[in-house]
Amino acid sequence: MQKSATLLKFLIPSFIGIFMFLFPLNIDGEMTIPVAFLAGLINDTLGAGTIVLIVVIIICLSAILTIVFSWIHKPESETLNSLFSVNPVWTIIRLFGAIFAVMAYLTLGPEAINSDVTGGMLLNDLLPTLLTVFLFAGLLLPLLLNYGLLEFIGAIFSKVMRPLFTLPGRSTVDNLASWVGDGTVGVLLTSKQYEDGYYSEREASVIATTFSVVSITFSIVVLEMIGLMNYFGWFYFTIIVAGIIAALIMPRIPPLSMIKDNYFDEAESLDETIPKGYNPFSWGYQTALNRAEKADDVSGFLKEGLKTIGEMWFAVLPIVMAIGTLGTILAEYTPLFTWIGAPFVPILELMGIPEAAAASETLFIGFTDMFLPSILIEGVSSDMTRFIIGALSITQLIYLSEVGGVILGSKIPVGIGKLLIIFLLRTAITLPVITVIAQFIF
């Protein structure tokens, strides 16, 4: 009886999670997924003005509480400490996020900050979508992460991780946490595993910079921004294919291949062999049941979901506002990215990408923030070009406003120089793959 209850505790949340995040729906002739539909429903119900005001309040609260809890009073609450006690760099970024949000909301200061192609566009178009998507994604992500689904899949794929990606099988859980959940979650999990001696320097660096892809949630946001939500299936398939090809190549070439297999505090790697009497499927089933049995009840589920929402709202929204505004100012008011991208126009034309000049301007701006390429490509008429740039912005993976910043703030031994090189290599590897698939689709 106990085993049946545990099995249901594994199956029911996992299937609900799969439905909410992966199941395509056709609503009024448009393809979407349940999480995106619920987010849109909230936006429509509350109205644009209310949602934008909520965003401004959240970003300003984030800045105020960060200053208080980072510099004035150390919070006793672990939750408050994790949300608002940050280093000086992130404090300044959150403060600038609040300043830009207020200036854009009240149309104050230079036009370069509050115009409808820079800060005003981020505040009025992008952040309201992020706010509501984060609400449902944060609340429901534990369904995928905490009830045994990742353990089950991880054990099944443990035999392929080492030969394919030069990684231990246990890294599958980290990788899936990124792909299914969120890239920052994957980075934090990887950093903790590295500090605990489960991964070497090389393994931790490979996982963080190769598999910490933004989640399905962010992919939905990108698709909505470029107006191609009806291509969700093809879009995510393309990201998976390009991401896997990059994951096969990146660990085998510098700089990742040159990082040593040293362990944190001279720890030794652990044996991951499947116990005698089990096969990958049966061991995955057993570990999934063990995870489900220890999983939180409804109150614990809600508590973790609310904590995740808080992390997304108070940490991510101000960073996107600050870095995004600065990036769009560079893109819209300086010729920097035109100059950088210009030499690549003939290459893009040779690859058959329409409106190659516009596409070239977005190739490298993604290092600053993942959303900027999709923002800048919105005005392009070619569906194929918008599809390619949207997918590329996700497979480039290293963007300083979130995943890159978390990696730099962790103990994983990858500095900003290596991050830039990895970003460029991922661009060179995934762009041709995405383009070839896009040629078949369009």
- At 420, which helix (H) or strand (E)? helix 416-441
Name the pLDDT band for 427 (thresholds 50, 70, 90): very high
> Residue 175 phi/psi, 5° resolution?
-65, -45
- CA angle 261–263–264, rounded 5-degree value: 145
Q: What is the mean pLDDT of residues 122-143?
A: 82
Instruction: Specify which of 1-10, 40-49, 235-244, 317-326 reaches the highest per-range mean pLDDT.
Output: 235-244
Residue 36 clears pLDDT 80, i.e. is over it: no
- 223/378 Cα distance (integer angstroms): 11
- 275/42 Cα distance (integer angstroms): 48
Burial of 163 (0-12, 13-18, 19+ CB in 10 A): exposed
pLDDT at 78: 77
At 217-275, the pLDDT tens digits run: 678 778 888 888 888 889 989 998 999 999 999 999 999 999 988 887 765 555 566 78
Q: Tell me the two tokens of residue 141.
A: 């992500």
Lowest-confidence segment of 22-26, 150-154, 256-260, 314-318 by average pLDDT = 22-26
Name the pTM for this structure: 0.72
- 173/154 Cα distance (integer angstroms): 6
Residue 182 clears pLDDT 80, i.e. is over it: no
Higher-confidence residue of 366 and 401: namely: 366
Domain count, the chain: 1
Q: Sign of torsion, CA 50 51 52 57?
A: positive
- Looking at residue 211, what DSSP letter applies? T
Name the pLDDT band for 349 (thresholds 50, 70, 90): very high
- 348/31 Cα distance (integer angstroms): 29
**Could you list the residue range(s) of the whole structural domain that residue 30 is in?**
2-441
At 198-223, the pLDDT tens digits run: 788 998 999 889 887 766 767 877 88
Cβ(212)–Cβ(178) below 8 Å: yes
- 35/21 Cα distance (integer angstroms): 6
Name the pLDDT band for 52 (thresholds 50, 70, 90): very high
pLDDT at 54: 95
- Identify the CA nearest to 89 among candidates 430, 416, 441: 416
- 18/137 Cα distance (integer angstroms): 12
> How distant, in Å, are the alpha carbons of 13, 31, 321, 401 from that of 377?
38, 21, 18, 19
Residue 56 clears pLDDT 60, i.e. is over it: yes
Name the pLDDT band for 289 (thresholds 50, 70, 90): confident
Residue 408 clears pLDDT 80, i.e. is over it: no
